[in-house]
Amino acid sequence: MSKDLARLLAIAEAKEPGIVQHLDELEKLKRQVEECCPKPDRHPAICRYRPCAEREEDKPGKGDAKPGRCHPNRVEDAPYDPVERDPKPKYQPNDRPSRIVPDGPFRGILRETPSFAPQNPGGPGSGLDFNPWTSDPNVTPASVNAADISGGDAGDVVMMTGNWYADYSTDGGQTFTTVDPTTVFPNTLAGGFCCDQVIQYVPSINRFIWLLQYQRVGGNADNAYRLAAASPQDIIDSNCTRWTYWDFTSATFGFGTDWMDYPSLGVGANSIYLSFDVLDNVADNTGDNGLVIARLPLNAIAASDTINFWFTNPGDGLVAWGSNACQNTGDEVYWAGHIDNSTMRVFSWHESSTTYFWRSVEVANWSNSTLSSNGPNGNNWFGWGFPNNAVIGVTRQDDLVWFAWSANAGDGGNGGFNFPHPHVQIAKVRIGSWDLVEQMTIWNEDFAFGYPCFATNTDNEVGVALGWGGGGNRHANSAVGFMGDYVVYFRDESTWTHTRWGDYVSVRRSAPNGRVFAGFGYVILADATTTAGYRFEPYFVRFSRDKVINPPVG
């Protein structure tokens, strides 16, 4: 009965916001009357309130990290002979269906928030600066695969990666040169390079950190990650071929022949955090084991030394499968997953400890049905199904952590605002008290949003990169912007919608000016010159408030 009354009150409040104030006034008047004229307790209560027992899955917990060690190697003989790529590798673990988030108990209804409008970059007087905004059409034919764009910005030197290729610039992002990763590193690790890559620039140690995924040879062999580091000057002097690197196989973590897939990197004060999914032996094509976070010390990377690292137990991260590590995370890293569509499990791990913790955070019920939004050619750009509702947009903003995920059209099943298309749900959670401060959305009346990525600049603003399009009238695209402006920006229209839009785009804090953001995205273009009939064209954009680049005089 209490839950039903709470639901009715929430619905009434959504329809008539003033009703809560009126009820508060009536309650205050009632208390004053009872203080003046107390009623004798002649009739004891028939029913007594007893709170529901806490669900086992909602209970807080903790885990102990495990240690590991990895020794450095040095690229000395690059460039190597290129290795012909397999456009459809046999072992692709995220071919499997994503984790399905179950329905949860009623926690609250979704409310309408201001919608977001994609726009072309503003001109003079817009208050924003987009310079440079550089596309690279020269990565074809590698770009007929889903782009999965990542990047890092160190001022004069910029790097970005997609599936199968890397681009680097030594003129501040005005022009880019494409390199084949199989020519930069020896291709003797595991079953060879394929295909996820992630790039971060870490100003505190003046290093680009490049993470590459290597596939397995067969059903009973390791797969691996290669973590490489180079200074901007190394990249300039060597044409992007001078790197120190460390190889982490599945055996390095004690995972046997289980698959590791879908990596991300988050930069902290003294550590960099590698996240990835661990999936049980892919040969039987069943199940998954969960998300792992590995903490690597930045000082060892800067010194090209042996890395002594710590990593979490994948069994503790079952609900976080497909999620990412926090950006700009300071001295503690955060990640999250969904117990159900009204309960998140939020993890935290302080860099001074080998123990990590989790607890439940309640959110308003959101629509967890299958994501779907078609482009003008009829293709559903969410058709790949991965990473589905995983919490992939995470950043720290002072004492808040922003968690974001893709949700489907609908009202969450409880009579709240009925979102017309897939959209992005955001939960802002306070560190320490672990209470939900705000739940907001990125949505539009005419088309969908999804695949969010967040970062925080030194002005404590949150930047976003994400996908948008569909609704039957817009081809799937990507955009960047500032949270709070309710506008995201794109330069070029896509002319094709693919059923696998991709797995991620990226936004980073730029350097050396940390008030600026670096965005890495792409458009999808119909292209008769490719065998596929389309291509993914990547872009780099540096964006900021105009006052940052052109401060007022006086």
pLDDT, tens only, 56-82: 888 999 999 999 999 999 998 789 999
Under the banding of pLDDT at 50, 70 and 90, the label for residue 234 is: very high
Under the banding of pLDDT at 50, 70 and 90, the label for residue 140 is: confident
Q: Which two structure tokens, joined as six digits, stand for 185?
A: 């590193």
User: What integer is the mean pLDDT of 185-209?
Assistant: 93
Higher pLDDT, 47 or 346: 346
Under the banding of pLDDT at 50, 70 and 90, the label for residue 96 is: low
User: What integer is the mean pLDDT of 466-483?
Assistant: 97
Higher pLDDT, 260 or 305: 305
Low-confidence winner among 8-22, 79-93, 467-481 (lowest mean pLDDT): 8-22
Q: Is the pLDDT of residue 6 over 70?
A: no
Domain boundaries of the chain, sorted by first residue:
1-51, 64-222+231-279+290-549
> What pLDDT sits at residue 414?
84
In the DSSP assignment, the letter for residue 42 is -
When the pLDDT of each residue in the chain is averaged and rounded to a whole number, the result is 89
> What pLDDT sits at residue 40?
57
Percentage of the chain beyond pLDDT 90 is 70
Low-confidence winner among 4-18, 63-77, 306-320, 474-488 (lowest mean pLDDT): 4-18
> What pLDDT sits at residue 22?
66
CATH code of 64-222+231-279+290-549, in short, is 2.130.10.10
> What pLDDT sits at residue 276?
94
Question: CA–CA separation, 209 vs 267, rounded Å?
Answer: 10
Q: Is the peptide bond before 97 cis (omega within 30 degrees of 0)?
A: no
Under the banding of pLDDT at 50, 70 and 90, the label for residue 285 is: very low
User: Are 515 and 457 in contact, with CB atoms under 8 Å apart?
Assistant: yes
User: What integer is the mean pLDDT of 488-506?
Assistant: 95
Residue 525: beta bridge partners? 535
> What pLDDT sits at residue 284?
47
Q: Are strands 271-279 and 244-249 parallel, antiparallel or unpaired?
A: unpaired
Q: Is the pLDDT of residue 32 over 80?
A: no
> What pLDDT sits at residue 141?
75
Judged by DSSP in three states, 15 sits in helix
Q: Is the pLDDT of residue 495 over 70?
A: yes
User: Are 419 and 367 in contact, with CB atoms under 8 Å apart?
Assistant: yes
> What pLDDT sits at residue 48?
63
In the DSSP assignment, the letter for residue 546 is H
Q: Which helix (H) or strand (E) holds 11?
A: helix 2-15
User: Are 364 and 428 in contact, with CB atoms under 8 Å apart?
Assistant: no
SS (H, E, C) 212-257: EEECCCCCCCCCEEEEEEECHHHHHHHCCCCCEEEEEECCCCCCCC
C-alpha atoms less than 13 angstroms from C-alpha of 130 in its C-beta half-sphere = 23
- Burial call 149-178: b when 16+ CB within 10 Å, e when fewer: bbbbbbbebbbbbbbbbbbbbbebbeebeb
Percentage of the chain beyond pLDDT 70 is 86
User: What integer is the mean pLDDT of 528-545?
Assistant: 93
Q: Which two structure tokens, joined as six digits, stand for 413?
A: 């099943």
Q: Is the pLDDT of residue 536 over 90?
A: yes
Q: Which helix (H) or strand (E) holds 526?
A: strand 517-526
User: What integer is the mean pLDDT of 498-522?
Assistant: 96
Over the stretch 175-195, which tens digit does the pLDDT of each residue have? 999 999 999 999 889 888 888
Nearest to 335 by CA among 259, 265, 260: 265
SS (H, E, C) 58-107: HCCEEEECEEEEECEEECCCCCCCCCCCCCCCCCCHHHCCCCCCCCCCCC
Question: CA–CA separation, 412 vs 547, rounded Å?
Answer: 41
Question: CA–CA separation, 151 vs 522, rounded Å?
Answer: 12
User: What integer is the mean pLDDT of 394-419?
Assistant: 95
Which pTM does this prediction carry? 0.89
